[in-house]
Structure 1
Amino acid sequence: MKTLGLIGGISWVSTAEYYKLINEGINQQLGGLNFVQCIIYSFNYADIVRNNESNNWESTLNMITQASLNLKQSGAEAIVLCANTMHKIADELEQNIQLPVIHIATETAHEIERKGLKTVGLLGTKFTMEFDFFKDKLVQHGIKTLIPGDDDRKFIHHTIADELGKGIFKPETKARYLSIIDELVAAGAEGIILGCTEIPLLISSQDTLVTLFDTVLIHSNAAIKFALGN
């Protein structure tokens, strides 16, 4: 089994979900007492948020690069960034560390292709929704992306930071997210990307009829495939 390097703490809530899903997935395939071989580097989320909110992505890249090099030195053979937003620096990171970075948007694009969809809605932090790093990977696969309006983007970003990232899940927040999803579907979205790793903890396929793309599950499955050499 190959060793995975997980960059976590962004937030710890979704990092725990990654650890759970990857371990369960390895065990489902290998059985017995087989579980993932991995190393986790967990950041203080406040440091990352401070950089990103001040548009200091260079500092974020430097921090993630150093953490990834530490994981590489400890035996990691691929890096899993346990957050969608961190993939803004994923391509540069891969060049810096000379290790595979399993890209969450690329893996999501593959899953959307398998479903045969061409237009999807994207929910996430304001960085994931407004910057092009995620959407560009979808464009490469012929997939069009719709994002919510300005007020809804602000609401989503705010609740990710102040609620979901702290493990707080409110019924009224869930209701607003489902309303936003309905609006994206009305605008032509055939599926919805839950493009923040905390959102699948709030919204599930049981809550809506539209196809949801759980990026934590998709990313975790890709990590499992790498670890097992598939």
Structure 2
Amino acid sequence: MRWRVAGRLVAGAVVLGLLAFGFRELVSARGFQLFGDLTERVETSEKVVALTFDDGPHPASTAEVLDVLREKRVPGTFFLIGRDLAAHPELGRRIAGEGHEIGNHTYSHERMVFVTPGFVAGEIERTDSLIRATGFRGEITVRPPHGKKFLALPHYLAEHHRRTITWDVEPNSSAAVDADPARIVEHVVRHVRPGSIVLLHPHYPSGRNSRDSLGPMIDRLRDQGYRFTTVSGLG
């Protein structure tokens, strides 16, 4: 009898462990959410790619990124943090004025996991207002900080017919790759596919390597026949 009870306890512990593992994976899943539309890449045979830039704007970095994009004649999608945009509205106006797309990266950059509906509404709507103040008039897509988006955020976006945008190429996620601009370029060139969304973190002083990689990355992808567009331009 004791062996039978012990066996049931072990089986129950295994089931609970698997459920906990599955729940953790669900919370962390970048390519899945319970509500609404999510895009991490667009299925297409056309060699088109979207370069996206998270965080900022910041005076230590944003102007340099914009200078490279202007020189190379490449449109980008900037997922901006509301508090940074409030601090540097002139940079937001420049991003919009030069024809780039602006997305919402929340106001405070908190992980959107187990937060209240009211908190989500405030984070998104405050940032939307700041984005509109830049002069940007296109669709405002949303990228959750760190890709975390469990329950309240997807539900809010679904109710408001808004899109969640993640990514399928992220060189900065590897410390070894992120440490060297040349490795960043090689990682992106090796992993990009038609319809890819590339995530870069070029803002703030810490984004130096991403900024240095941007021009060579554009040149290499163009050499491979890729055309650049915004996230909304992918379709």
The interval holding the TM-score normalised by the smaller chain is 0.3 to 0.5
* Pair member with larger Rg: 2
Q: TM-score, normalised by structure 2?
A: 0.35
Q: TM-score, normalised by structure 1?
A: 0.36
